[in-house]
Amino acid sequence: MMIVGIVVLIVAASVGVLMSKGKAEESNEVLDTKEPIKVSIEQKVEYGDDIVDKTFTIHMEDESKEANFVDLDPEVDTMTVGNTEHRLELEDEIFDVTVVVEDTQKPVIKGVKDVIDFEGEEVDIEEELKNMITAEDPVDGELDVVFEIQEDKEKENNYHVTAEATDENGNKTTERFEVVVKVVVKEEKEEKAEKKDEENKSSSVACKSENDTSKPKQETPKQETPKKETPKQETPKKETPKQEKPKQEKPKQEEQKQEKPKQEEPKKEESKEEEYQCSGIIGPNDPPPNFPPLNDPKAPLPGGATLTNKSKSYHEYSYNRSLPGGGSISKVNVSYAMCYLSVGLSGKDNNGDIFSSEYLIDEDKLLHTYFVSKPEFTAEDRSILFEVGRAFAKSYGLY
């Protein structure tokens, strides 16, 4: 009996030890469980920032830890302004992190001057300003510019203008400047220019034009020479006065003298119809060069192109196209310049300066004309300049 009692005591003791160990393990598990640590990040994240390699610091009582934004769950969206909650596991610890995204960068308005001058008979100020003034946000890109135009009551043809641009997050930039319009009667100028062109053309031909008019007359008398000879014989019979005979004979002799070069001139006539002044130095008293005629477009022009000026060898269009770098195209012309077919492009470069470029159709080359500094363009800008030049050339069937 004593042996049985001892065995019972031993078994009970061992069960008690096992139960106490189980409780101890349970208590240890409870002690190892930690509540998430909430950390509010005071460091601001800029709207649109690239946070791939960006880190932030977690300040604790005993130490500070560095963490990466890319390790936050869910992923941080820097294109959304505001506060977002994220979870971070770092070195067996869990943190609740608040990220603040703010947009502190305002739009930039380009092309503004203290005083902007426009010249013309009828000037659409707002339309002209849209062609030369642009706005851009570092993240949102190109923005619309809104203009408020007020007439100066004290000065005629003077205007107070306010230009304003707003980005996607409501940041605004405002510029104020003056506009002065110089009224010019374009019709009179165009008439004078046309008269001068006509005078220059007639003077450029000079004796040639006179010879041209006489050339058909000379050709007809060549065929009618026998008819003219008959009156020559009849003149002495019918008209006794000798004075009339020399009068008629003199021009006849002159005509014969002229006929010799006139016979050579018809050969020149055939070439003159296609002869144009494509090279050489033109003096101050020389007539303007005579370029080949430019035919009308054979296919539709690029959208938004409006014909504003047209002459024999020059067609000018109003055409608005923004460039990725911040510049813009405002005018395009197709012309013969010294018998070279080209498409001229003009507008503002990325610095807001006026540029003038020329796309040579035959060489598929783009040239820039400048007086001080070379126009500022990105590679994408140059690609668009080529694209526009080729598009107009294709419309004329030249590319």
pLDDT digits (tens, 9 = 90+) for 136-183: 999 999 999 999 999 999 988 899 999 999 999 999 999 999 999 988
Percent over 90 (pLDDT), the chain:
37
Task: Give the range with max mean pLDDT: 199-203, 231-235, 385-389.
Answer: 385-389
Per the CB < 8 A criterion, the answer to whether 115 and 180 are in contact is yes
Kindly give the interhelix angle for 207-223 and 186-205, rounded to the nearest 10 degrees. 50
Higher pLDDT, 84 or 371: 84
Q: What is the mean pLDDT of residues 193-219?
A: 51
- Whether the upstream peptide bond of residue 221 has omega within 30° of 0, thus cis, is no
Given pLDDT bands bounded at 50, 70 and 90, which one contains residue 4? very low
C-beta separation of 306 from 320 below 8 A: no
Task: Write the pLDDT tens digit of every residue in 86-96.
Answer: 998 887 788 88
pLDDT at residue 309 greater than cutoff 80: yes
DSSP 138: T
pLDDT, averaged across the chain: 76
Examine the pLDDT at 280 and tell me if it is beyond 50: yes
Does residue 132 contact residue 330 with C-beta atoms inside 8 Å?
yes
pTM of the entire structure? 0.39
Nearest to 117 by CA among 159, 75, 172, 59: 159
The pLDDT-based confidence of 226 (bands split at 50, 70, 90) is very low
Secondary structure tally for the chain: helices H, strands E:
7, 19
pLDDT given for residue 6 in this prediction = 45
Neighbouring residues of 249: CB distance < 8 A, sequence distance ≥ 6: none
pLDDT at 202: 53
Over residues 247-261, the pLDDT tens digits come to: 544 445 444 445 555
Residues 6 or more apart from 373 whose CB is under 8 A from it?
A: 353
Show the tokens assigned to 13: 């003791």
| pLDDT over 50 (residue 108) | yes
The pLDDT assigned to 218 comes to: 44
Give the per-residue pLDDT at 210: 43
Compute the distance between CA of residue 208 and CA of residue 204 in angstroms, rounded to an integer: 8
Confidence check: pLDDT of 15 > 50: no
In the chain the domains, ranked by start, together with CATH numbers, are 37-102 (no CATH), 108-186 (2.60.40.10), 306-395 (no CATH)
Quickly state the pLDDT bin for 270 (edges 50, 70, 90): very low
pLDDT over 80 (residue 23): no
Q: Is the pLDDT confidence value at 233 over 50?
A: no
> Residue range 21-35: average pLDDT?
48
pLDDT for position 101 = 92
**pLDDT of 304 higher than 60:** yes
Is the confidence at residue 397, as pLDDT, over 70?
yes
Residue 70: DSSP 8-state = G
- For residue 308, pLDDT beyond 90: yes
Return the pLDDT at 213: 45
Comparing CA positions, the residue from 339, 397, 387 lying closest to residue 359 is 387
Q: Which residues contact 208 (CB under 8 A, 6 or more apart)?
A: 272
Question: Which residues, in sequence order, are bridge partners of residue 38?
Answer: 96
Q: How far apart, in Å, are the Cα atoms of 164 and each of 109, 127, 262?
A: 8, 15, 70
AA identity, residue 239? E
Distance, CA of 329 to CA of 309 (rounded, Å): 17
Distance in angstroms (rounded) separating the CA atoms of residues 111 and 321: 15
The predicted structure's pLDDT at residue 363: 85
Taking the CA of residue 137 as centre, how many other CA atoms within 13 Å lie in the half-sphere pointing to its CB? 23
